[in-house]
A and B are shown apart, each in its own frame.
Chain A
């Protein structure tokens, strides 16, 4: 199925969790936060949350700032 990861379109397995996607993409979880279709998905839900066709994932990370 198709999903969007920030601005990148990806084809992923039909049954994949957010956590599995992060692992597959080798994305560090330190300071990471995720919104799916403009709603924040809490970290504790990543292992169980199944992605759906056309989900738009936005990944954010803590950076320096004033």
Chain B
């Protein structure tokens, strides 16, 4: 069971709603993934375009919507985006993300911490996307964030847990949920994150950009179940030397 703030979730998979080729496909993937938290973004309205109603079908699926502050380049912009998202969605839950550099989309740790402190004061349930920095994650926890969302690799890169060693420290130190966000490109990466003890993973590109997003969403659902069950069961300790599993040597000696 995943517990964030005052809510519990059966699924440890969060899904980003971007990059799907159609809204209908995104909804089918959400349903197949079994996820209960789906991220959305805020964008300046294009007055010349008619926009699809995203909210009604997602709400009919029974998922909780988690707006993000993508596009914000500093704390001030992120706080405005958060306030807009709260009004648009009538939720105080927020995925805080501030990435001023468009090439690597690395989260700005200083602006993220400044924004997190202010947004917590304003009553938001803050889930910050952040670099895999154990010290920063403790600062974000101390600031009152409900979870931390350190990156496995660059957004959309599909490189997996490049930051694994740092993620292990973050998980070991955290008293709040650790959700691995960004870089997860395959179900095995998600399973691996949960085997390490991460509370959840957020996946978008790997599902939305696969040849068959619905099947891939189901694959991630299964991987998250496997990773979580394995962590709870206790992963076997690796050894340098062999450890016999059958008493064959003694049997052969008698011939």
Contact for B20 among A6, A32, A59, A64, CB less than 8 A:
A64
A66–B42 contact, CB under 8 A? no
| Contacting pair A59 B44 (CB below 8 A) | yes
Interchain CA distance A38-B80 in the complex, whole Å: 8
CB neighbours (8 Å) of A34 from chain B are: 84, 87
Chain A, 5-61, CB within 8 A of any chain B CB: 5-6, 8, 25, 27-28, 30-35, 38, 40, 42-43, 58-61
Chain A residues whose C-beta falls within 8 Å of the C-beta of B156 in the assembled complex: 66
Q: Counting CB contacts under 8 A, is B115 at the interface?
A: no
Question: Is B204 at the interface (CB under 8 A from chain A)?
Answer: yes
In Å, the complex CA distance between A40 and B88 comes to 11
**Cβ contact within 8 Å between B88 and A6:** no
Other-chain residue from B47, B85, B155 in contact with A27 (beta carbon distance below 8 A): B47
A residues near B68, Cβ cutoff 8 Å: 65-66
Given A35-B80, A42-B87, A64 and B40 touching (CB < 8 A)?
yes
Contact between B70 and A31 (Cβ–Cβ < 8 Å)? no
Residues of B within 8 A of A61 (CB): 42-43, 45, 51, 88
